[in-house]
Every structure is written in C-alpha cells, then in structure tokens.
Chains A and B, each alone.
Chain A
Amino acid sequence: MSFLHASLLFGGFFIAVPIAIHLIMRRQPKLVIFPALQFIRQKQEANRRSLRLRHLVLLALRCAAIGLLALALARPSLTGSGVLGKEGAPIAAALVVDNGLRMEYRKKNVTRLEAAIQLADRFLAQLPDDTSVVVGDLAGGRPTFAVDLGSARQQVAQITPSAATRPLIDAVGDAIRSLQQKADHRKELFVFTDLAKAAWPDQGLKQISEQLDAAGDVAMYIVDVGIEDAVNFGLGHISIADPVIVPEKPVSLRVATIRSGPSAECPVEFVLHRPDAEPERRDHRMVQWSSDTMGEVEFSLTGLEYGTHQCVIRILGNDGLPADDSRYFTIRVQSPRRILLLGESKRNATFVETALVTSGRYQCRFETFGGAANIEFDPYEAVFLLDPPPLPDAIWQGLYRFVKGGGGTIICLGHNARRDPLNANDPQQLLAGPLKRQSRASTYLSPSNYNHPILIQLRPYAGQIPWRQFPIDKSWDLDGLNRGAISIVGYADGRPALIERMIGTGRALTLTTPLSDPPYVPEREVWNYLPIGLATEPWPFPPFIRGLAGHLAGGGEERANYLAGEIATLHLGPEERREVQTTGGFVVLLPTGEGFRRSLAPGDNTVTLSTTQNIGNYRVTAGGKAGSLKRGFSVNADPVISRLARTTTNHIATALGAKRVRFARNADEIEISVGLGRVGKELYPWIIGLVALSVAGELLLSNRFYREQQ
C-alpha cells in the first residue's frame, strides 16, 4: 500500500480528541427522580457492563471515523507503481515506438504505426509542461531527452517505418537507461507496440525485467496497437540450392512463404532485373498458402552469364502488410579466382587447397618453392607462400612487383623460415617485420574485431568459435612491424598473428605461424592445430582460409544479399579496382532510383556501404556501360516482420511482474492505466464509505445514548 499524501496521516493523531472527551469530558446523563429504583437495582450489574460496552463502542466508532478520514485524505492505494515516494516530482517519460515494418500493417486504412503515433501524440499533449520526455524508436541509437514537450511531439510525428531496426528489447533497454539519468523524477516508460510474439521474446523479457530491477523505480506501460487475427501473405528468406553457380546452368531459388490467417491462394511473380534493360518476368504462378504456417516456393533461373544478376519475387495483389510482399535477390556468376599455392610439397598444401576448392569459387595450382623461379605470377589473383624457406631474391622481387601491381600474397612463416635470409631487403619489402625468434609460447588465435573482410564470414558465430581448440604451440616473434603494417588478428597473449601491409595497389599478409602443418610429423614438433583442431571439428578453418583468399584475390566468397541495416561489402578484383582508380570512383544506385558517387582509398579493394536502410536491389558501377565494374547486392527486411502472431499481456505481465507493467489499448485506457500506475488502485471511495458508516453508527448510537428527555 502506498499513499499519495502520506503527511496527512498525521491527522490520525486527532483520534486523541474523542479519547480525551471520553476520559475527561464525558457527557453527564440527565438526572431524573424515580421512586421505583428497586426494580432497576436488580439488573444493575448487567446494565453497567452494557453501558460500559456501549461507551467503548461509541469511542471506537469516533476514533475509527477520525482515523479513517485521515487515511482517506492521505489517498492510500493498492498495487501502485512504487514511485509514489516522489509525489509532486516532475515526470520523466520515455516513449518507445516500435517502427519496424511489421507496424505498417494496415487496418481500416490506419497502419499500426500511425495509430501508435496518434496515441503517443495525444498522450504527450496531456503531460505537464515540466515533463522531461525522451522519444526512441527501433531505427535510432540511444535517444536523448527532448528540449521540451513540443519538440518531443515533433520527434514522435517524424517517426517513420524502418527496415533497418534493432530489437525492440534493445530500444526499451536504452529508454530505461535514459530514464535513470533523471534521479529526482517520477520515471515512466511507455512502449507502443503491436505485441508481436517475435518482438517480445522470452529472453528479451528477462533482460527487461533485470533492467527494471536494476533501475528500481521505473513504471512501465505497454500500449497495445496491434490487431487480433491479422491476415497477411508474406515472403521470407531466399536460398539457392546449388552452392556453385556455373554459367548457363539453371539456378534453383527457394523462397519461404509465411501465411497469417486462413488458407488461401495468391499469385506470385518472379522478375529478373537487368541493367540498362526492362525488367523481365520469368515466372508467374498461383501459390497455395496454408493457414498460419510457413511454406516454400521454388523458382528456376536459367541463362545466366558471367556477371551480377538481380531479381525480385513479388506477391501480386494487396494485403494488410505490403512490406513483406517483395523479396529481392542478387546472384553473381563469376569465373573462379586463380590462386597459386607455393609449398614445400603438395602434401603441405592439402588443407588450404581443400578449403578453397570446395567453395567452387577458386581455382588452385600448386608449385613447389623449387619451381617458383620459373613461374609468372601475373595470371593469378593471389599467391600463398606456405612456410617458405629462404628463396632467391628474384622470386621475392617478382612477388613484390606482382603485389604492387594489385595482386595479393600471404606469407605463412613456419619451421622452414630462417631469420637472417628473411630479414634481408627483398623479403622485408613484403614481410610485416623482421623476424626475431621462434616463440614456444603456447597460445591460440584471438581476433578482437570480426568486421574485417577476412573474418566477416565468421562474424555471426564470433562468440562461439572455440579458438582454444586450435592451439598454436610455436610461432615467430617479429622485431617490430614495418611501416604501414597493421595487425589484423592477434594471439591470446597479445602478440600479432596476422599482419597486413598495403603495397602499391595490392596487399601482403604475414601469418607468423604456418597453415600447412600436417597433424603428425615424426622428425619435428607440429607448430599448430589450426587445420585440424583438437577434439573438435575444424569448422572455422575453411571460412578463415576463404576469407584470406577473398581478401587477397577479390570477389571471393562474399555475400550479395543483406538484411536492412547490415554493412554491405564488395571485394573488387584487380581489373575492377583498376577501373575504379582510372575513373576516380564508383557510383552506387539505390533502390529508390537515387545514386551517389564514392571513391576508393589507394590500395583499398573493398567497397563498404552502410547505407542499406532501403529495401531493394543496389547497383555499384564504374566506367559507365563499357566499364568493367558492374556489381550489386540486395537488401531485404528481416523475415521476422511477417510473423504477426501476438503474445499475450498475461505472458508479459508474468515475465515482468504484474505490479510493474500495465497495459492499455486506447487513449482512455492509457489514462486509466497511468492513473492506476501512478497512484495505484485508489482506496479513497471505500474508506470514505467506511467513514460514512462510522459517522452514521456514531450518530445512531449517541442519539440513542444521549437522547434528550421529553
């Protein structure tokens, strides 16, 4: 129980008044002469007890009337938000509006987001002027407090649906943290949501509960703008059955279908977009959608040539949620990248070669170091030196020219390396630094940043990679790094493992431990277990090798399809890179039809784009129609937007605590809910009723008691 005006409870001390009257100023009864006293005397004792009892009841009723009146004026309430200790304090309100694409679901010509904005605006208009308001959505970062209520209402009005959103749980967490800045305020959090189950996962609810626990005095209100029994057709993730795409061979595309509502039929079309040409409809069919389940539709794409191809799969007709009616896809058909593997023996290149060839994107040739002198490096995109021994200067010089001209190489140092020969001038033009000594410190790789293109494929699993299961027992210590060398991946003990140097338009990587050691070598110790692992599947090795190859050779195993908000990266091949440098930059064409020009830093062969908020097909070109850079990628909304199934208020209330969260569906309910949350369930009417009863009882009893004699 809590009190709105706790100080008025002191009024309860007035109970002393009737007690004093009872003890000191007891009203004298009327004196009557009466001769027949002998008949009264016989019942005297019973009468005295009854009289005393009535006096006490009368006193109790008077005390109760005063005490209850004081209690009623103190405005007690049950199940309040617990923030009543700050009555009179200004309000700090945080509004979180779910502006994901799912909120574009339209009913009665109003989207959920529009309904949420209307309610939020109406609510803001009712707040006192001194209220501090912070407005957040799923598209922005951590919000800051608005200058005044007017600007907060403007912020709310400017909220638009966004495809690039973070989880609602994160936005709620940010809002709670923002509220915690207002120590002396009454903190209230309002979340405008459609109550989709996907937006309120159990783990997220637990997270919010913990944050509310930590914040202590934040009252949470969830405003439900969702629709019961929503009906929708939606398209989900697109996948390709074949990992290797060969020119002219049909490609099978599978798109997930998500149905909300009863079973129905709806047509779907498949359109191929070619640059500088009209869109070409490749397929059109009626699809059966099963009730509230996921399905799959398969399309075949034939006649693909080398190059980048973009397509869209689209539901024809209107439904409640247009945002998930189209799905975009980009396929790149390219010739395999040529990689030269130089090693001591073919056996030493087995792991690397297998990791590369199985991707279908690389064509590998092995050559021993002995035969390297006669090899032209130019036909290759990248050269792997797998544990090189001291090599003739001519080879180092040729390799340097190759890199400077746009090629890529990686030098993996192992037991064959010798300090003095490799510290000579020519090798040092490529190596990351002079070799110091072989280190026997047992360690393992410990990447700190998975955003580098080499590690980008491992990024989704960053927290789960068991690097300890791939121990490195020996490695080379470098005596400092050469100028321009940057450590990309380090060991767990902090020493650099993989170092990159930009040389001309190409790049050279140095790995201070080999990639080629077999699991058992009788005559020496094995330097590391990177390719095979210890008691675990060596699943991180292939993507790591392919990341290296893709980074060095360009156009490796890169993604061409992203979710909105993700960073898109394109690795340019030597030819594409030259085209960009020749024309001074490249052009990015957005799905909206707008475009912008960007340039590439010298030596950089990766295009990185973070402006992926729009859903659709993006194109990256350079050199016009005749140019050699004609790439692209697709951006789609997270398929979760099609999952319209709702969670229940009970479920959320149970997870967060029924006393801490309240629900509303319209403006009136917000008012009631906020009222209940701020002051709890008012007991005032009940207590006033009890006061009235006490007063009535007192009047009745005292009238009967002290009735004037006629």
Chain B
Amino acid sequence: MLTVEQYLKPEVIRQISRLDLRAQFIVKGFFQGLHASPFHGFSVEFSEHRKYTPGDNPQDIDWLVYAKTDKYYVKKFEAETNITGYLVMDLSASMAYTYRQELTKFDYAICLAAALCYLMIHQNDPVGLMTFDERIKTSLPPKSKRKQIGNILSVLANLKPSGPTHIAASLDQITAMLRHRSLIMVFSDLLGDPEPIKTALRRLRHGGHDVILFHVLDEAEVRFPFDGLVEFEEPESGERMQVDANGFRADYLDQIKAFRESYRIDCFRIGVDYVPLDTSMQFDRALTEYLVRRKARG
C-alpha cells in the first residue's frame, strides 16, 4: 500500500489523472513528510503557544496570553498576513518534452503549480495564474476563495504547450501588469537566450515582487542518457544535429551545469529564488521553497 509520502514522487502522481487529486495528494504527502522533517514548525493551520525564551523575537509575544496568565508566551506560525501569488506557466513547445514518456516538463510544472495553488488557498492567500508563450496568453486574477482552486485547476488542465516562446518579453509584460507587491512563481525550462531573461527577472524584482524561478528540465536534459550515434531534433525550430552521444556526454553535462550555475549566481545577486528541478525529483522541493519564501515575507 502506498504511503502518503510516496505521492511526492512524480512517477506515482503520474498515475493519477485528475489534477485536483494530484494537487491534494502532493500537499498531503508534503505535510505528512514535514512531521519527520527539519521543516517541522512550518504548519500554517495550527498555531501553538510556548514559553518565551531569550532570543525569541519579542514581536512574537502574545500579549493577550500574558494578560491572562501573566506569563510570556510566543505564538508560532499563525498566518496573519496575506501574500498574493501568481503562478506563471511557460507554454513553449519544449515544455511538452519527455524522454521517458512519463511526465513532461509541463505536466510536472502543472502538478507543482496545482499543489502550490491548493496550498496557498488553504492559507487564505490569493493566488492567480498567468500563462505565456511569446506573450501573455491567459491571466486569472488572484483570489483566495476556495472556488479559485477549481478555476485555476480547470485552466491548467486545459493548457497545451506548443510553439515558440519569448520568456523575457512575457516577464516584462507581467512586470508591467502587476500593481501590487506579489509573489511571482515562474515555471519554465528557460531554454532561450539567458541574458534577456535575466534582465527581465531583474526588472520584475525591481518592481518589488518576490520571485521564485522554478527551472524545470527533463531528466534526460539533465543526465543525457543517450548512447551511440544520435540525431537530435530541436522541437521548436526543427533544427537537427548528429552527435556521438558517448563522446559528447561529458561536454553536454558541463554545459548544462554551467547553464544552471549561471542562473543560480545571477538569481542570487538579484534576490530571485532559483529552484533547479528535473522531472525525476520529488515535488516537496518546490513546496518547501514556497513556504520558506512565505515565512520570510511573514
């Protein structure tokens, strides 16, 4: 019988067809795992009181309890502020890629986005959705009602990645659209010229938004599991290239590592949370990243 934690694994989630169930399973699995994880205390539903000890933030002291008991108690993890989140989905054709014919990058991103949506609505955080290819295609305004989960999930379930993309322009468009400080969660494989994208991220950050960049790559794109003579075709441009995969693997891995490292360094500089993912990784990594960010905002 499957344990709840196993729902964090993409290969298990893949077997569930309904996106809402996928999101629930991911979130439940995530919280189940938290009990035994170093992230214990990130609960957003349960608020507890404990004795104040020196070193605690004095702002956390619950003065009502002090009034009743004459003792200092601190309240922990009670959500007091609302954070407006935007799920930004890349609709490029390359996002539809899967080497092992399991979860595509887009499927993985959707699962993750749905789980985050589920989680945020539970926190009473308003959450909205934007999708883009060469420009913004879909935009759902953020709401914190439970009904919003259904709206977002229904849009996500009907998305089809196709055609070329222009990430930098789309991000610039989002920057221009948003008036209030928000948490922007971008799901993309970032396969494009990195410099304009980084510039766009910088602008987004400059607009006062918190940005989490979920860099979703396929397992094959990270590990390059090919052997022998292979002809590769780029899905967006149709360009082809013949390669001796064995001889090229080391070079490729160096390239992809350098690519991710450059994003990591640049994102760190501009204050963007860069989360490198691949389709073989568990979903909790992405959720944890969200919670850390939310706590920082709190």
Contact = CB atoms under 8 A, between A and B. Distances in A.
B250 to A, nearest CB: 10
B229 A32 contact: no
Given A35-B97, A39-B255, A41-B241, A30 B221 contact: no
Contacts of B225: 710
A611 B160 CA distance: 123
A705 B230 CA distance: 9
A43 B251 contact: yes
A685 interface: no
A47 B244 contact: yes
A20 interface: no
A709 interface: yes
Contacts of A48: 242
Contact of B248 (A28, A36, A47, A708): A47
A374 B241 CA distance: 138
B248 A31 contact: no
A34 interface: yes
A38 to B, nearest CB: 7
Contact of B235 (A35, A43, A54): A35
A305 B23 CA distance: 148
B276 to A, nearest CB: 14
Contacts of A32: 226, 230-233
Contact of A35 (B221, B241, B243, B246): B221
A30 B189 contact: no
B246 A47 contact: no
B83 interface: no
A189 B214 CA distance: 91
B228 interface: yes
A54 B228 CA distance: 12
Given A43-B248, A47-B247, A50-B244, A36 B217 contact: yes
Of B240, B247, B259, which is in contact with the most chain A CB atoms at under 10 Å from its CB? B247
Contact of A707 (B228, B233, B241, B248): B228
A174 to B, nearest CB: 71
B252 interface: yes
Contacts of A707: 227-228, 246
Of B93, B220, B236, which is in contact with the most chain A CB atoms at under 10 Å from its CB? B220
B231 A31 contact: yes
Contact of A40 (B220, B229, B248, B259): B248
Interface residues of B, number: 35
A592 interface: no
B157 interface: no
A35 B233 CA distance: 7
Contacts of A708: 227-228
B256 interface: yes
A601 interface: no
B234 interface: yes
Contact of A47 (B231, B243, B259): B243
Contacts of A38: 191
Contact of A709 (B228, B246, B255): B228
B244 A709 contact: no
A29 interface: yes
B231 A33 contact: no
A30 B229 contact: yes
14 contacts: A29-B230, A30-B229, A30-B231, A32-B232, A35-B221, A39-B256, A39-B259, A40-B248, A40-B255, A47-B244, A47-B251, A51-B229, A704-B227, A708-B227
Given A32-B226, A706-B228, 16 more contacts: A29-B229, A34-B232, A35-B189, A35-B235, A36-B217, A36-B221, A37-B232, A37-B234, A37-B239, A47-B244, A47-B247, A50-B247, A51-B242, A705-B229, A708-B228, A709-B226
